[in-house]
Amino acid sequence: MNATAVHARLRQLRAEIARHDELYYRAATPEITDRDYDRLKEELAALEAQFPAQTGAASLTPAVGDDRLAGFTTYRHRLPMQSLDNTYSEEELRAFHARLVKQLGREELAYVVEPKIDGLAVSLTFERGQLVRATTRGNGEEGDDVTANVRTIHSLPHHLATADGAPVPDIIEIRGEIYLTTAEFQRINQAREEAGAALYANPRNLAAGTVKLLDSKEVAQRKLEIVLYGLGFCEPAVADSQSDFHTLVKRWRLPTVERLWPAQGIDAVCAAVRELDHLRHSFHYGTDGAVVKLDEFALQREAGRTAKAPRWAIAYKFEPERAETRINAITVQVGRTGVLTPVAELEPVTLSGSTVARATLHNRDEIERKDIRVGDYVLVEKAGEIIPAVIEVNKARRRPECVPYRFPEHCPVCGTGVIQIEGEVALRCPNANCPTQVRRRLTHFVSKSALDIDGLGTAMVDELVGRGWVKELPDIFELRRADLLSLGKNVEKSADNLLAAIEAGKQCELWRLIHGLGIPHVGVAAAKDLAAHFRDLQALADAKLEDFVAEKTTIISGIGEVMARAITGFFNEPRNRALVLDLLHAGVRPVAPDARAASSATFAGKTFVLTGTLPSLTREEAAALIEAAGGKVAGSVSKRTSFVLAGEAAGSKLEKARALSVAVIDEAEFMRMLAAGSA
């Protein structure tokens, strides 16, 4: 390359890296994978090393990314908060070890191998055992103060436990990662899909974006989690090694990694990394690699650090599993709120141990941005190892007959012209009587998590809607026996059973009806909170925003401003208010929770977390027994958890319970507690 070409490529690389830094660190919406980003940085570093005269002060290779945003105050770390150098092969990992052996003059070095959680790095400052500040990495020297948002994380104690005599320093910075569980990520994306909003690409981006929201009440609606694993500034010193520090973190009852591997020598390190790669798919959060650290703090100090990263630690990044396959067709699904979602129908391919034949394309804009066409060969990976996604098109294999995809202008089911609501990415069918929308609303309404009407499975719902007998939810309560008997031979018993289940559904618990209405953002837990507070469907429908949030204070636990606006917006629509009246006219009389009975029940005020497979109860059955006895069921373990009900093959929740000293019981003990309470 001549000087002009080198200068042009350097300028191009620097601009491209700066743009991706902005997307990753500030906007939390990266367009490329970590590996592709690292390749850009590697190319830049190689060019700068080869042509130092062209580099000058403009080099970006040693810089730490900057996540600071306007609207937040900044706080200077007492000890710089650096990032890690990445490696993608065992050969590079062994080279890292060889450099340390040469520098430190030791053949055998002790390491600790930890899971690398794919989230947002934070630093927590405790003074005399009390949490006083939470800060993002920022530019490594100073970061954004996100204390109010971090305090919404239920699993994080606000003080260091000292019951067992664990030493507590005067000041300590503890580093960690904020993340979202797989289940919470899927819940949020489902709610966004129903609301017509763009889906989040992966849990890391969503967690990072959530931490940087200015409204901590909105943050609380997304159940963030945190894991702590690193030591920053500490005075006085309380540990001599990384493994000792991990022991202290557990004694302080802080959430930490569910497993780590002490490793003596590089062969043991490589074996630990391989074992972690095998186990990581069973974790409830995204793990995109392993972090290898020298164990002894004295050796860490001797190894030192560069401007960007410590020399005593390295991140081994697992290559995301990808596969190339062909798009045979693009189909468009219609959701129960009318949102049109395009799906790539793929030539089946094996990915992360399962066969993938479909991948979401999210929306029209995503198809246009990636220029995805029917017949294209595409790379597919599981985004965040959860959702199959089309990463890019292999345009070298594009055939002439692959023409740009035209998104339908009319609903593929009912033919109604599609619309786009201002501020939304999604296109939707505005016809509330669209058969697919009716089917999906009805399927949700009668599901086990809503009215739980046995006998109204998918086939029956399709039949009822297809014959025009059910056009809206209240119509199921008007079904006639004569109509059901006309569906075929030998249906008399099943028809009678269905009518009996429908009649029983009129007396459902109030929370079931609220959840069944399909209010955006309102899941089972929120429906139960709303039922307990309003105790009447009409009262909920008549509620104003100030009944949920007054002077920026949440009135109902768990119901923040975002959800409150979704609820009031739902009932402000004339069609939905008419739906409530029609349900009441159809004889639906939901049963409000008995506050007096709950307050005196066996598990009143107790919170349970379920994990593993119980001997005789399903999780749904156990949860029903807990709630009938006045208790609550949560999805994750925290210091507020009363009991963890554990069965066979219990996973990380059991380990977290033990770390937090939460009582763990089996099914036999659970049944004894129930029996004792009812005696």
pLDDT in tens, 101-144: 999 999 889 999 999 988 889 999 999 999 999 999 988 889 99
With tokens 């990662």, the residue in question is: 177
The beta strands (E) that lie in 154-240 are given as 171-179, 225-235
Query: Given this model, what pLDDT does residue 194 score?
Result: 61
- Residue 397 vs residue 552, higher pLDDT: 397
Query: Given this model, what pLDDT does residue 592 score?
Result: 86
| pLDDT per residue as tens digits for the range 456-482 | 888 889 889 888 899 889 999 999 998
**Start-to-end C-alpha separation, the chain:** 86
The answer, as to whether pTM is greater than 0.85, is no
The beta strands (E) that lie in 267-321 are given as 287-294, 313-317
Buried b (16+ CB within 10 A) or exposed e, 405-428: bebbeebebbebebeeeeeebbbb
Structural domains present in the chain = 3-58 (1.10.287.610), 74-317 (3.30.470.30), 322-397 (2.40.50.140), 435-505 (1.10.150.20), 510-593 (1.10.150.20), 597-678 (3.40.50.10190)
Is residue 604's pLDDT more than 50? yes
Is residue 628's pLDDT more than 50? yes
For the chain, what is the mean pLDDT?
Answer: 85
| pLDDT per residue as tens digits for the range 270-295 | 999 999 988 887 777 778 899 999 99
What one-character DSSP code corresponds to residue 366?
A: H
Is residue 520's pLDDT more than 50? yes
Residues pairing with 263 in the sheet: 111
- For residue 656, indicate whether it is catalytic: no
Q: Residue 468 and residue 462: Cα distance in Å, rounded?
A: 10
Q: Per mean pLDDT, which range of 268-272, 396-400, 596-600, 667-671 is the poorest?
A: 596-600
- Residue 409 vs residue 56, higher pLDDT: 409
CA 294 to chain centre: 31
Does residue 38 contact residue 86 with C-beta atoms inside 8 Å?
Answer: yes
Q: 37-42 — which CB contacts under 8 Å span 24+ positions?
A: 38/86, 38/88, 38/317, 40/13, 40/16, 41/17
pLDDT class of 172 with cuts at 50, 70, 90: very high
pLDDT class of 362 with cuts at 50, 70, 90: confident
Question: Angle CA(658)–CA(662)–CA(667) in degrees, nearest 5?
Answer: 95
Q: Residue 79 and residue 215: Cα distance in Å, rounded?
A: 28
Query: Given this model, what pLDDT does residue 154 score?
Result: 87
Among 116, 212, 217, 223, which one carries the catalytic annotation? 116
DSSP 574-590: HHHHHHHHHHHHTT--P
Does residue 619 contact residue 633 with C-beta atoms inside 8 Å?
Answer: no
Is residue 650's pLDDT more than 80? no
**Considering only CA atoms, which of 504, 531, 499, 501 is closest in space to residue 517?**
531
**Considering only CA atoms, which of 117, 99, 98 is closest in space to residue 276?**
117
Is residue 518's pLDDT more than 70? yes
Does residue 282 contact residue 115 with C-beta atoms inside 8 Å?
Answer: no
pLDDT class of 70 with cuts at 50, 70, 90: low
Contacts of 36 (CB under 8 A, 6+ apart): none
| pLDDT per residue as tens digits for the range 232-263 | 999 999 999 999 999 999 999 999 988 899 99
Is residue 60's pLDDT more than 50? no
Query: Given this model, what pLDDT does residue 51 score?
Result: 78
pLDDT class of 62 with cuts at 50, 70, 90: very low
Strand, coil or helix: 531: helix
Strand, coil or helix: 477: helix
